[in-house]
Amino acid sequence: MMRFLLAAFCALVAHSAWAQIVPGPRAKPPAIQCPARPAECQINMQVFDFGRGQMNSNAPAINGTNTISVTCTRAARDGLNVQVDYNLQAIPPAPARQMRDQELHYLAYDLFVDAARTRYWGDGSQSTFTFQGALFLDDRNRVGTLAHVVYGKVHGAQGLTPPGQWLGLVVGRLEYLALCLS
């Protein structure tokens, strides 16, 4: 089953086929059936806080980090083994993001998937990269979580900006495939 999870909007594409097989008299007990939704996954994204700093034409860049986690929960069925593969994207995909204040001044910033801040976090297109992961869920591990570090940078030397609250928006999109294993 492939699921797409996008902030407050959820779209589900379920692929399932139903068939009934009548076992013969010497048949083995039936295998565990895979439910239509073998696992559910969600994103935990916190507010990215670059802290406090002054920005003017001589100011250095301001760097920050944050963590985004993906948590998947297996369906409540004993004996079920589920492999979940996912791709975590940032929308909009292209670099050159901007934060704005109440006066509509702006500050340019970017988010990256690496500590060197060379690989832009996006949707995998236009020279951007995504976070990918895999979780194996079974009777011992019904819930699994993987954390990813996001590296941010407010570009330096942007001209004098007034102090205050600055807001930028990035939406995380989680695409995952949950497959039952025998």
pLDDT for 150-164, tens place per residue?
Answer: 999 999 999 888 888
pLDDT of residue 51: 86
Q: What is the pTM of this model?
A: 0.79
Domain assignment present for residue 32? The answer is no
Amino acid residing at 4? F
Domain assignment present for residue 97? The answer is yes
Question: Which structural domain range is residue 80 located in?
Answer: 2-13+39-47+55-181
Domain assignment present for residue 22? The answer is no
CATH of the domain at 93: 2.60.40
Domain assignment present for residue 96? The answer is yes
**111-121 per-position pLDDT tens digit:** 999 999 999 99
The count of domains in the chain is: 1
The answer on pLDDT for 32 being more than 60 is yes
Q: Which residues have a Cβ under 8 Å from the Cβ of 158 and sit 6 or more positions away?
A: 55, 56, 57, 59, 107, 108
pLDDT of residue 30: 55
Cis check for the bond before 92: say yes or no (omega within 30 of 0): yes
User: Which of left, alpha, beta for 169 (phi over 0: left; psi -120 to 50: alpha)?
Assistant: beta
**46-87 per-position pLDDT tens digit:** 888 888 888 889 999 999 999 999 999 999 999 999 999 999
Which residue in 101, 167, 173, 160 sits closest to 131, CA to CA?
173
